[in-house]
Amino acid sequence: MALKNLFDDWLSFAKDKYADRQWLLSKWEIREGIVWPEKKIRIMMESIVRGLDLKKDHALIDLGCGGGWILNFLNHGLSNPPIGLDFCRPMLESARKLSPNAAFVQGEIGRLPFKNESFDRVLCYFVLINMMDDALIFQSISDIYRIVRKSGVVLIGQLPDKDRSKMYDKAKADYAAFCESHYRLGPSIRDVAYMPQKLFDIPKLRNYLERSNISYELRPSFNPFYREGESETVDWRFDLILKK
């Protein structure tokens, strides 16, 4: 099944019950019944703002915005309404309800319907993780870089490191055990619609970026399995920051 159809089917299942819980719409959790503490949400949002070096007057777009949970949070600190783009129309309908003053566009990364250098800041968070083809990923990064302005910043977040996938597996198992002991859990949400997960070959990614003359840095990602006493960042996921 095409990736777009998977997301359409997922939202048809989830929208009535989980529309206000974007972290479940994104399937960051393992079982129904898990609640993200406010501190965890704040840590993630602060990580995104730092990575983007986001300022009040910046023109921002969120690529792969989904139901608009992250965009809605960032919107509160901006003087200009941001834009959200997603290929899933039902997701955009949910996002419009959450952020009625933002603008939303249906489209695909890799064929973005925007002119060159249209935005000061570009966010693409937990999106390329679902793209399995390297050629499509590189095409998407080039297209994203095209629309950012001079002196702009792109944050492409939550990319799994192929060489550290066993560390991820252990962290996920530890988090599952934590959730078993701290929440009243329901059935597995992930089993409803399995999403593919790309493991990134960092040397291959670096080679593409350097051949393309794209200025970049890699940094550890926010820890999606964060709980009290755990590190706020992890190195089995990384963020790719592009600067022009």
DSSP state, residue 185: -
**Rounded Cα gap, residues 152 and 55, in angstroms:** 11
Mean pLDDT of 106-124: 97
**In percent, how much of the chain has pLDDT > 90?**
67
Q: Describe the crossing of helices 89-98 and 3-18 by its angle, rounded to 10 degrees.
A: 40
Pair 99, 77: CB distance under 8 Å: no
Pair 152, 185: CB distance under 8 Å: no
What is the separation, in whole angstroms, between the first and last Cα of the chain? 36
Helices (H) and strands (E) in the chain, counts: 8, 7
* 91: Cβ contacts below 8 Å, ≥ 6 apart: 7, 11, 25, 65, 66, 67, 68
pLDDT of residue 27 exceeding 60, the answer is no
- What is the pLDDT, as a whole number, of residue 242? 99
What CATH number is given for 3-243 in this structure? 3.40.50.150
- What is the pLDDT, as a whole number, of residue 24? 47
Most confident of 128-132, 178-182, 188-192: 128-132
**In percent, how much of the chain has pLDDT > 70?**
83
Nearest to 53 by CA among 123, 106, 141: 123
Cα–Cα distance list, 53 to 45, 76, 121 (Å): 12, 15, 8
- What is the pLDDT, as a whole number, of residue 11? 63
In this prediction the pTM is 0.90
* 19: Cβ contacts below 8 Å, ≥ 6 apart: 25, 67, 94, 97
**Rounded Cα gap, residues 180 and 165, in angstroms:** 23
Mean pLDDT of 203-231: 97
Q: Which of 41-55, 85-99, 123-137, 139-153 comes out lowest in average pLDDT?
A: 85-99
Pair 32, 185: CB distance under 8 Å: yes
Q: Kindly list the domain boundaries of the chain, sorted by start residue.
A: 3-243
Q: How confident is the model at residue 31 (pLDDT cuts 50, 70, 90)?
A: low
- What is the pLDDT, as a whole number, of residue 180? 86
Per-residue model confidence as pLDDT tens digits over 64-103: 998 888 999 999 889 999 999 999 888 898 889 889 999 9
DSSP state, residue 199: P
pLDDT of residue 23 exceeding 90, the answer is no
Mean pLDDT of 36-50: 93
pLDDT of residue 25 exceeding 50, the answer is no
- What is the pLDDT, as a whole number, of residue 93? 87
* 205: Cβ contacts below 8 Å, ≥ 6 apart: 240
Q: How confident is the model at residue 126 (pLDDT cuts 50, 70, 90)?
A: very high
Between residues 226 and 17, the one the model is more confident about: 226
